Protein backbone atom coordinates (compact mmCIF):
# COMPACT_ATOMS: atom_id res chain seq x y z
CA UNK A 1 0.00 0.00 0.00
CA UNK A 2 2.80 2.41 0.98
CA UNK A 3 4.71 1.64 -2.22
CA UNK A 4 1.61 2.38 -4.32
CA UNK A 5 1.18 5.76 -2.63
CA UNK A 6 4.92 6.49 -2.98
CA UNK A 7 4.63 6.00 -6.74
CA UNK A 8 2.33 9.04 -6.86
CA UNK A 9 4.54 11.33 -4.78
CA UNK A 10 5.24 13.81 -7.63
CA UNK A 11 1.53 14.43 -8.26
CA UNK A 12 0.75 14.51 -4.54
CA UNK A 13 3.47 17.11 -3.99
CA UNK A 14 2.09 19.17 -6.89
CA UNK A 15 -1.43 18.97 -5.45
CA UNK A 16 -0.18 19.97 -1.99
CA UNK A 17 1.62 23.02 -3.38
CA UNK A 18 -1.43 24.11 -5.38
CA UNK A 19 -3.74 23.45 -2.43
CA UNK A 20 -1.54 25.57 -0.14
CA UNK A 21 -1.54 28.39 -2.67
CA UNK A 22 -5.34 28.49 -2.56
CA UNK A 23 -5.39 29.47 1.12
CA UNK A 24 -4.44 32.97 0.03
CA UNK A 25 -7.67 33.15 -1.98
CA UNK A 26 -10.85 34.28 -0.31
CA UNK A 27 -14.18 35.73 -1.36
CA UNK A 28 -13.66 38.97 -3.26
CA UNK A 29 -16.19 41.83 -3.03
CA UNK A 30 -18.56 41.78 -5.98
CA UNK A 31 -19.62 38.55 -7.66
CA UNK A 32 -18.32 36.25 -4.90
CA UNK A 33 -20.34 38.03 -2.21
CA UNK A 34 -23.38 38.34 -4.45
CA UNK A 35 -23.42 34.64 -5.33
CA UNK A 36 -22.78 33.57 -1.74
CA UNK A 37 -26.20 35.00 -0.83
CA UNK A 38 -28.07 33.26 -3.66
CA UNK A 39 -28.93 30.19 -1.55
CA UNK A 40 -30.58 32.42 1.04
CA UNK A 41 -33.11 33.71 -1.51
CA UNK A 42 -33.60 30.89 -4.02
CA UNK A 43 -33.60 27.14 -4.35
CA UNK A 44 -31.04 25.79 -6.82
CA UNK A 45 -33.73 25.26 -9.47
CA UNK A 46 -35.10 28.78 -8.99
CA UNK A 47 -31.61 30.25 -9.16
CA UNK A 48 -30.73 28.46 -12.40
CA UNK A 49 -34.06 29.44 -13.97
CA UNK A 50 -33.56 33.06 -12.96
CA UNK A 51 -30.02 33.18 -14.35
CA UNK A 52 -30.96 31.36 -17.56
CA UNK A 53 -33.92 33.61 -18.31
CA UNK A 54 -32.42 36.94 -17.22
CA UNK A 55 -28.63 36.73 -17.52
CA UNK A 56 -26.81 33.86 -19.28
CA UNK A 57 -26.87 30.22 -20.28
CA UNK A 58 -23.83 29.30 -18.16
CA UNK A 59 -25.75 26.75 -16.12
CA UNK A 60 -22.73 24.82 -14.87
CA UNK A 61 -20.85 27.81 -13.37
CA UNK A 62 -24.10 29.24 -11.98
CA UNK A 63 -24.81 25.94 -10.23
CA UNK A 64 -21.22 25.79 -8.97
CA UNK A 65 -21.18 29.28 -7.44
CA UNK A 66 -24.55 28.58 -5.79
CA UNK A 67 -23.21 25.43 -4.14
CA UNK A 68 -19.60 26.27 -3.30
CA UNK A 69 -19.97 29.88 -2.22
CA UNK A 70 -22.54 28.72 0.32
CA UNK A 71 -20.01 27.83 3.06
CA UNK A 72 -18.18 25.27 0.90
CA UNK A 73 -15.14 27.30 -0.07
CA UNK A 74 -13.02 24.70 1.76
CA UNK A 75 -14.21 22.15 -0.82
CA UNK A 76 -13.49 24.54 -3.69
CA UNK A 77 -9.90 24.77 -2.40
CA UNK A 78 -9.62 21.02 -2.92
CA UNK A 79 -11.42 20.81 -6.26
CA UNK A 80 -9.71 23.75 -7.95
CA UNK A 81 -6.18 22.27 -7.69
CA UNK A 82 -7.63 19.00 -9.02
CA UNK A 83 -9.10 20.91 -11.98
CA UNK A 84 -5.68 22.46 -12.68
CA UNK A 85 -4.11 18.99 -12.64
CA UNK A 86 -6.95 17.62 -14.82
CA UNK A 87 -6.28 20.39 -17.31
CA UNK A 88 -2.57 19.54 -17.37
CA UNK A 89 -3.33 15.83 -17.81
CA UNK A 90 -5.86 16.44 -20.59
CA UNK A 91 -3.50 18.71 -22.54
CA UNK A 92 -0.96 15.87 -22.70
CA UNK A 93 -3.55 13.12 -23.11
CA UNK A 94 -4.97 14.77 -26.24
CA UNK A 95 -1.55 14.37 -27.82
CA UNK A 96 -0.61 10.85 -26.64
CA UNK A 97 -2.19 7.75 -25.11
CA UNK A 98 0.25 7.09 -22.25
CA UNK A 99 0.77 10.01 -19.88
CA UNK A 100 3.36 10.05 -17.10
CA UNK A 101 3.20 12.07 -13.89
CA UNK A 102 6.15 14.17 -15.00
CA UNK A 103 4.39 15.07 -18.23
CA UNK A 104 1.38 16.26 -16.24
CA UNK A 105 3.67 18.30 -13.99
CA UNK A 106 5.36 19.73 -17.10
CA UNK A 107 1.98 20.77 -18.54
CA UNK A 108 0.89 22.38 -15.25
CA UNK A 109 4.19 24.28 -15.08
CA UNK A 110 3.58 25.70 -18.54
CA UNK A 111 0.33 27.20 -17.24
CA UNK A 112 2.63 29.41 -15.17
CA UNK A 113 3.49 31.28 -18.39
CA UNK A 114 -0.01 32.76 -18.37
CA UNK A 115 -0.12 36.48 -17.66
CA UNK A 116 -0.57 37.19 -13.96
CA UNK A 117 -3.98 38.79 -14.54
CA UNK A 118 -5.16 35.69 -16.46
CA UNK A 119 -3.97 33.38 -13.69
CA UNK A 120 -5.52 35.47 -10.96
CA UNK A 121 -8.91 36.05 -12.62
CA UNK A 122 -9.39 32.91 -14.73
CA UNK A 123 -7.65 30.23 -12.63
CA UNK A 124 -7.51 31.25 -8.95
CA UNK A 125 -10.44 33.61 -8.40
CA UNK A 126 -13.37 31.58 -7.02
CA UNK A 127 -16.05 32.83 -9.42
CA UNK A 128 -13.56 33.17 -12.28
CA UNK A 129 -12.30 29.60 -11.93
CA UNK A 130 -15.82 28.17 -12.13
CA UNK A 131 -16.54 30.20 -15.27
CA UNK A 132 -13.23 29.56 -17.02
CA UNK A 133 -10.86 26.96 -15.54
CA UNK A 134 -13.50 24.32 -14.81
CA UNK A 135 -15.30 24.42 -18.21
CA UNK A 136 -11.96 24.56 -20.03
CA UNK A 137 -10.51 21.58 -18.11
CA UNK A 138 -13.66 19.59 -18.82
CA UNK A 139 -13.61 20.71 -22.47
CA UNK A 140 -10.05 19.47 -22.93
CA UNK A 141 -11.04 16.14 -21.33
CA UNK A 142 -14.02 15.80 -23.67
CA UNK A 143 -11.74 16.13 -26.72
CA UNK A 144 -9.69 13.03 -25.81
CA UNK A 145 -11.85 10.35 -27.56
CA UNK A 146 -11.83 12.36 -30.80
CA UNK A 147 -8.07 12.86 -30.61
CA UNK A 148 -7.62 9.12 -29.96
CA UNK A 149 -9.64 8.23 -33.04
CA UNK A 150 -8.13 10.82 -35.38
CA UNK A 151 -4.47 10.69 -34.32
CA UNK A 152 -4.11 7.13 -33.02
CA UNK A 153 -7.06 5.24 -34.58
CA UNK A 154 -8.13 4.09 -31.13
CA UNK A 155 -11.76 3.38 -30.32
CA UNK A 156 -13.35 4.49 -27.09
CA UNK A 157 -13.50 1.94 -24.27
CA UNK A 158 -16.86 0.83 -22.97
CA UNK A 159 -18.18 3.10 -20.25
CA UNK A 160 -15.81 5.94 -21.07
CA UNK A 161 -18.38 7.55 -23.35
CA UNK A 162 -20.50 8.44 -20.33
CA UNK A 163 -17.57 10.20 -18.62
CA UNK A 164 -16.59 12.14 -21.74
CA UNK A 165 -20.23 12.97 -22.41
CA UNK A 166 -20.74 14.45 -18.95
CA UNK A 167 -17.47 16.40 -19.20
CA UNK A 168 -18.29 17.78 -22.64
CA UNK A 169 -21.89 18.68 -21.82
CA UNK A 170 -20.88 20.51 -18.63
CA UNK A 171 -18.17 22.37 -20.56
CA UNK A 172 -20.68 23.27 -23.29
CA UNK A 173 -23.09 24.82 -20.78
CA UNK A 174 -20.21 26.44 -18.93
CA UNK A 175 -18.33 28.78 -21.25
CA UNK A 176 -19.08 30.12 -24.73
CA UNK A 177 -15.51 29.98 -26.02
CA UNK A 178 -14.95 26.45 -24.73
CA UNK A 179 -18.32 25.30 -26.08
CA UNK A 180 -17.59 26.55 -29.60
CA UNK A 181 -14.12 24.97 -29.53
CA UNK A 182 -15.24 21.48 -28.52
CA UNK A 183 -18.25 21.48 -30.86
CA UNK A 184 -16.06 22.58 -33.77
CA UNK A 185 -13.33 20.06 -32.88
CA UNK A 186 -15.88 17.25 -32.66
CA UNK A 187 -17.47 18.09 -36.01
CA UNK A 188 -14.11 18.47 -37.77
CA UNK A 189 -12.95 15.19 -36.25
CA UNK A 190 -16.03 13.39 -37.58
CA UNK A 191 -15.45 14.84 -41.04
CA UNK A 192 -11.80 13.75 -40.95
CA UNK A 193 -12.70 10.23 -39.79
CA UNK A 194 -15.39 9.87 -42.45
CA UNK A 195 -13.11 11.04 -45.25
CA UNK A 196 -10.47 8.51 -44.19
CA UNK A 197 -12.66 5.54 -43.26
CA UNK A 198 -16.05 6.23 -44.90
CA UNK A 199 -17.73 5.49 -41.56
CA UNK A 200 -18.05 7.04 -38.11
CA UNK A 201 -18.53 5.34 -34.74
CA UNK A 202 -21.96 5.87 -33.23
CA UNK A 203 -20.43 6.81 -29.85
CA UNK A 204 -18.57 9.76 -31.37
CA UNK A 205 -21.73 10.86 -33.17
CA UNK A 206 -23.64 10.79 -29.89
CA UNK A 207 -20.92 12.75 -28.10
CA UNK A 208 -20.89 15.35 -30.87
CA UNK A 209 -24.66 15.68 -30.66
CA UNK A 210 -24.43 16.10 -26.89
CA UNK A 211 -21.75 18.80 -27.18
CA UNK A 212 -23.72 20.69 -29.82
CA UNK A 213 -26.89 20.43 -27.74
CA UNK A 214 -25.09 21.90 -24.73
CA UNK A 215 -23.64 24.65 -26.91
CA UNK A 216 -27.11 25.54 -28.22
CA UNK A 217 -28.54 25.59 -24.69
CA UNK A 218 -25.78 28.03 -23.75
CA UNK A 219 -25.85 30.29 -26.80
CA UNK A 220 -29.64 30.54 -27.19
CA UNK A 221 -30.47 31.24 -23.55
CA UNK A 222 -33.14 33.99 -23.31
CA UNK A 223 -31.02 35.80 -20.73
CA UNK A 224 -28.15 36.38 -23.16
CA UNK A 225 -29.95 39.20 -24.96
CA UNK A 226 -31.04 40.82 -21.69
CA UNK A 227 -27.49 40.62 -20.38
CA UNK A 228 -26.12 42.08 -23.62
CA UNK A 229 -28.41 45.14 -23.35
CA UNK A 230 -27.57 45.71 -19.66
CA UNK A 231 -23.83 45.32 -20.12
CA UNK A 232 -23.81 47.56 -23.20
CA UNK A 233 -25.55 50.27 -21.19
CA UNK A 234 -23.05 49.90 -18.33
CA UNK A 235 -19.74 49.27 -20.12
CA UNK A 236 -20.13 50.76 -23.59
CA UNK A 237 -23.33 52.81 -24.23
CA UNK A 238 -22.39 53.42 -27.88
CA UNK A 239 -21.80 49.72 -28.56
CA UNK A 240 -25.24 48.93 -30.13
CA UNK A 241 -24.77 51.72 -32.70
CA UNK A 242 -21.35 50.53 -33.89
CA UNK A 243 -21.09 49.32 -37.49
CA UNK A 244 -19.44 46.02 -38.44
CA UNK A 245 -16.38 47.99 -39.52
CA UNK A 246 -16.29 49.70 -36.13
CA UNK A 247 -16.40 46.33 -34.39
CA UNK A 248 -13.48 45.13 -36.51
CA UNK A 249 -11.49 48.29 -35.84
CA UNK A 250 -12.02 48.31 -32.05
CA UNK A 251 -11.69 44.55 -31.83
CA UNK A 252 -8.45 44.43 -33.80
CA UNK A 253 -6.77 46.98 -31.51
CA UNK A 254 -8.00 45.03 -28.47
CA UNK A 255 -6.89 41.67 -29.90
CA UNK A 256 -3.38 42.89 -30.74
CA UNK A 257 -3.00 44.28 -27.23
CA UNK A 258 -4.16 41.03 -25.63
CA UNK A 259 -2.34 38.63 -27.92
CA UNK A 260 1.05 40.29 -28.24
CA UNK A 261 1.32 42.25 -25.01
CA UNK A 262 -0.69 40.46 -22.34
CA UNK A 263 0.06 36.94 -23.64
CA UNK A 264 3.61 37.72 -24.70
CA UNK A 265 5.29 35.23 -22.36
CA UNK A 266 3.33 32.34 -23.83
CA UNK A 267 4.07 33.65 -27.30
CA UNK A 268 7.80 33.95 -26.59
CA UNK A 269 7.85 30.45 -25.09
CA UNK A 270 6.17 29.01 -28.18
CA UNK A 271 8.51 31.03 -30.40
CA UNK A 272 11.61 29.63 -28.70
CA UNK A 273 10.28 26.06 -28.95
CA UNK A 274 9.41 26.60 -32.62
CA UNK A 275 12.89 27.89 -33.41
CA UNK A 276 14.44 24.84 -31.70
CA UNK A 277 12.15 22.49 -33.62
CA UNK A 278 12.73 24.25 -36.95
CA UNK A 279 16.50 24.30 -36.50
CA UNK A 280 16.43 20.55 -35.87
CA UNK A 281 14.54 20.04 -39.14
CA UNK A 282 16.94 19.97 -42.12
CA UNK A 283 14.31 21.36 -44.52
CA UNK A 284 13.54 24.36 -42.31
CA UNK A 285 17.04 25.07 -40.98
CA UNK A 286 18.17 26.97 -44.06
CA UNK A 287 14.83 28.56 -44.91
CA UNK A 288 14.49 32.32 -45.25
CA UNK A 289 11.35 32.16 -43.10
CA UNK A 290 13.29 30.77 -40.12
CA UNK A 291 16.11 33.31 -40.48
CA UNK A 292 13.65 36.21 -40.67
CA UNK A 293 11.69 34.86 -37.71
CA UNK A 294 14.86 34.52 -35.62
CA UNK A 295 15.64 38.15 -36.46
CA UNK A 296 12.20 39.32 -35.30
CA UNK A 297 12.42 37.11 -32.19
CA UNK A 298 15.82 38.64 -31.44
CA UNK A 299 14.41 42.16 -31.80
CA UNK A 300 11.63 41.40 -29.29
CA UNK A 301 14.06 39.89 -26.80
CA UNK A 302 16.42 42.85 -27.23
CA UNK A 303 13.69 45.34 -26.39
CA UNK A 304 12.77 43.34 -23.28
CA UNK A 305 16.38 42.96 -22.13
CA UNK A 306 17.07 46.69 -22.57
CA UNK A 307 13.76 47.60 -20.96
CA UNK A 308 13.52 50.66 -23.20
CA UNK A 309 11.71 51.42 -26.43
CA UNK A 310 9.04 48.79 -25.85
CA UNK A 311 6.41 51.23 -27.10
CA UNK A 312 7.90 50.87 -30.59
CA UNK A 313 6.44 47.36 -30.89
CA UNK A 314 3.75 47.43 -28.18
CA UNK A 315 2.02 50.80 -28.63
CA UNK A 316 -1.20 49.61 -30.25
CA UNK A 317 -3.22 52.63 -29.13
CA UNK A 318 -1.36 55.28 -31.16
CA UNK A 319 -3.33 54.31 -34.26
CA UNK A 320 -6.48 55.75 -32.63
CA UNK A 321 -5.10 59.23 -33.31
CA UNK A 322 -5.36 58.80 -37.09
CA UNK A 323 -7.96 57.97 -39.69
CA UNK A 324 -6.83 54.52 -40.74
CA UNK A 325 -8.61 54.30 -44.10
CA UNK A 326 -7.45 57.72 -45.29
CA UNK A 327 -3.88 57.03 -44.14
CA UNK A 328 -3.77 53.74 -46.06
CA UNK A 329 -5.19 55.25 -49.24
CA UNK A 330 -2.65 58.08 -49.20
CA UNK A 331 0.30 56.07 -47.91
CA UNK A 332 2.81 58.17 -49.86
CA UNK A 333 1.95 61.12 -47.61
CA UNK A 334 2.40 59.20 -44.34
CA UNK A 335 4.59 61.00 -41.80
CA UNK A 336 6.72 59.46 -39.09
CA UNK A 337 3.94 59.59 -36.46
CA UNK A 338 1.56 57.62 -38.66
CA UNK A 339 4.32 55.17 -39.61
CA UNK A 340 5.13 54.48 -35.95
CA UNK A 341 1.41 53.98 -35.24
CA UNK A 342 1.21 51.31 -37.95
CA UNK A 343 4.59 49.73 -37.14
CA UNK A 344 3.44 47.48 -34.24
CA UNK A 345 0.68 46.02 -36.41
CA UNK A 346 3.00 45.36 -39.35
CA UNK A 347 5.68 43.90 -37.06
CA UNK A 348 3.42 41.51 -35.17
CA UNK A 349 1.38 40.48 -38.22
CA UNK A 350 4.63 39.45 -39.93
CA UNK A 351 5.79 37.76 -36.72
CA UNK A 352 2.56 35.78 -36.36
CA UNK A 353 2.48 34.70 -40.02
CA UNK A 354 6.07 33.44 -39.84
CA UNK A 355 5.41 31.65 -36.55
CA UNK A 356 2.29 29.98 -37.97
CA UNK A 357 4.18 28.91 -41.09
CA UNK A 358 7.03 27.38 -39.10
CA UNK A 359 4.60 25.68 -36.71
CA UNK A 360 2.61 24.03 -39.48
CA UNK A 361 5.36 23.30 -42.01
CA UNK A 362 6.82 19.79 -41.67
CA UNK A 363 4.44 18.99 -38.81
CA UNK A 364 2.91 15.51 -38.52
CA UNK A 365 -0.51 17.02 -37.81
CA UNK A 366 -0.66 20.37 -39.65
CA UNK A 367 -4.47 20.46 -39.72
CA UNK A 368 -4.61 20.07 -35.95
CA UNK A 369 -2.18 22.95 -35.44
CA UNK A 370 -4.07 25.08 -37.95
CA UNK A 371 -7.32 24.37 -36.06
CA UNK A 372 -5.68 25.40 -32.76
CA UNK A 373 -4.41 28.65 -34.28
CA UNK A 374 -7.80 29.41 -35.84
CA UNK A 375 -9.49 28.56 -32.53
CA UNK A 376 -7.24 31.06 -30.74
CA UNK A 377 -8.26 33.68 -33.27
CA UNK A 378 -11.90 32.66 -32.94
CA UNK A 379 -11.93 32.99 -29.14
CA UNK A 380 -10.66 36.54 -29.56
CA UNK A 381 -12.94 37.37 -32.49
CA UNK A 382 -16.15 36.57 -30.59
CA UNK A 383 -15.22 39.26 -28.06
CA UNK A 384 -15.28 41.85 -30.87
CA UNK A 385 -19.06 41.78 -30.59
CA UNK A 386 -19.32 41.78 -26.81
CA UNK A 387 -20.03 45.06 -25.00
CA UNK A 388 -17.74 43.84 -22.19
CA UNK A 389 -14.73 43.90 -24.52
CA UNK A 390 -13.10 46.37 -22.10
CA UNK A 391 -14.98 45.22 -19.01
CA UNK A 392 -14.53 41.45 -18.72
CA UNK A 393 -10.83 41.65 -17.97
CA UNK A 394 -8.17 39.21 -19.08
CA UNK A 395 -10.05 36.13 -17.90
CA UNK A 396 -11.56 35.96 -21.42
CA UNK A 397 -8.03 35.11 -22.62
CA UNK A 398 -7.92 31.87 -20.60
CA UNK A 399 -9.12 29.65 -23.47
CA UNK A 400 -6.63 31.19 -25.92
CA UNK A 401 -3.83 30.79 -23.37
CA UNK A 402 -4.69 27.11 -22.89
CA UNK A 403 -4.62 26.56 -26.66
CA UNK A 404 -1.20 28.22 -26.87
CA UNK A 405 -0.06 25.85 -24.12
CA UNK A 406 -1.45 22.86 -26.04
CA UNK A 407 0.55 23.86 -29.12
CA UNK A 408 3.69 24.33 -27.02
CA UNK A 409 3.30 20.85 -25.49
CA UNK A 410 2.78 19.40 -28.97
CA UNK A 411 6.03 20.93 -30.25
CA UNK A 412 7.99 19.92 -27.13
CA UNK A 413 6.69 16.37 -27.56
CA UNK A 414 7.73 16.49 -31.22
CA UNK A 415 11.26 17.25 -30.00
CA UNK A 416 11.07 14.21 -27.70
CA UNK A 417 11.63 16.36 -24.60
CA UNK A 418 8.31 16.11 -22.80
CA UNK A 419 9.82 13.80 -20.17
CA UNK A 420 13.10 15.70 -19.86
CA UNK A 421 13.57 16.62 -16.20
CA UNK A 422 16.33 19.07 -17.15
CA UNK A 423 13.96 20.93 -19.46
CA UNK A 424 11.29 20.87 -16.74
CA UNK A 425 13.72 22.52 -14.33
CA UNK A 426 14.75 25.11 -16.93
CA UNK A 427 11.23 26.04 -18.00
CA UNK A 428 10.05 26.05 -14.37
CA UNK A 429 12.09 29.16 -13.60
CA UNK A 430 9.64 31.64 -15.11
CA UNK A 431 6.46 30.06 -13.62
CA UNK A 432 8.17 30.01 -10.22
CA UNK A 433 9.00 33.71 -10.45
CA UNK A 434 5.57 34.58 -11.88
CA UNK A 435 3.64 32.70 -9.18
CA UNK A 436 5.96 33.95 -6.44
CA UNK A 437 5.22 37.56 -7.40
CA UNK A 438 1.48 36.87 -7.37
CA UNK A 439 1.85 35.11 -4.01
CA UNK A 440 3.78 38.05 -2.59
CA UNK A 441 1.18 40.59 -3.75
CA UNK A 442 -1.68 38.57 -2.26
CA UNK A 443 0.27 37.93 0.96
CA UNK A 444 1.08 41.59 1.51
CA UNK A 445 -2.03 43.29 0.08
CA UNK A 446 -4.72 40.62 0.20
CA UNK A 447 -6.28 38.63 -2.63
CA UNK A 448 -7.21 40.56 -5.77
CA UNK A 449 -8.32 38.80 -8.98
CA UNK A 450 -7.64 41.77 -11.26
CA UNK A 451 -3.87 42.36 -11.18
Q: Please tell me the pTM assigned to this model.
A: 0.93
Of residues 335 and 264, more confidence is placed in 264
Q: Smallest Cα–Cα separation from 392: which of 449, 319, 320? A: 449
Of residues 106 and 235, more confidence is placed in 106
Element (H, E) at 279: helix 264-280
User: Within 13 Å of residue 389, how many CA atoms lie on the same side as its CB?
Assistant: 26
Share of the chain above pLDDT 70, in %: 95
pLDDT at 245 exceeding the cut of 70:
yes
As a whole number of angstroms, the distance between CA 289 and CA 151 comes to 28
Residue 318: the pLDDT is: 86
Average pLDDT value over all residues in the chain: 91
pLDDT at 329 exceeding the cut of 50:
no
Residue 334: the pLDDT is: 60
Q: What is the mean pLDDT of residues 376-392?
A: 87
pLDDT at 327 exceeding the cut of 60:
no
Q: What is the mean pLDDT of residues 158-186?
A: 95
Q: What is the mean pLDDT of residues 340-352?
A: 93
Confidence bin at 281 (pLDDT 50/70/90):
confident
Share of the chain above pLDDT 90, in %: 71
Task: Report yes or no: 286 and 362 within 8 Å, Cβ to Cβ.
Answer: no
pLDDT at 449 exceeding the cut of 50:
yes
As a whole number of angstroms, the distance between CA 405 and CA 407 comes to 5
pLDDT at 325 exceeding the cut of 60:
no
Residue 344: the pLDDT is: 93
Confidence bin at 260 (pLDDT 50/70/90):
very high
Residue 418: the pLDDT is: 84
Residue 451: the pLDDT is: 72
Q: Which residues contact 436 (CB under 8 A, 6 or more apart)?
A: none
Looking at mean pLDDT, say which of 311-315, 320-324, 329-333 comes out highest.
311-315
Count CB atoms within 10 A of the CB of residue 78.
12
Amino acid sequence: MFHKIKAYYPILILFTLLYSFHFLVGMYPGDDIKFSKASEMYSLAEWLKLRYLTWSGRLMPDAAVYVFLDDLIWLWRILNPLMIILLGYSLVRILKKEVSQWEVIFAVLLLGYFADNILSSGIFWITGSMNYLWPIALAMTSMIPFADRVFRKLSMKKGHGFIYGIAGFLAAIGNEQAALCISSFAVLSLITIYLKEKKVEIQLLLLTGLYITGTCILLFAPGNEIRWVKEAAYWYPRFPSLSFKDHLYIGTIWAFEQLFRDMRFLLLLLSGITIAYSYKNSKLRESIALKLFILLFGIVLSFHVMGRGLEVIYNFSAIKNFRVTESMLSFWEINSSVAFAFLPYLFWTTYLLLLSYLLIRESKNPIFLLFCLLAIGGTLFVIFFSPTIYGSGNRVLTVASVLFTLISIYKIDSLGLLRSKKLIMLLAIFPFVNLSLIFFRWFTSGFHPFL
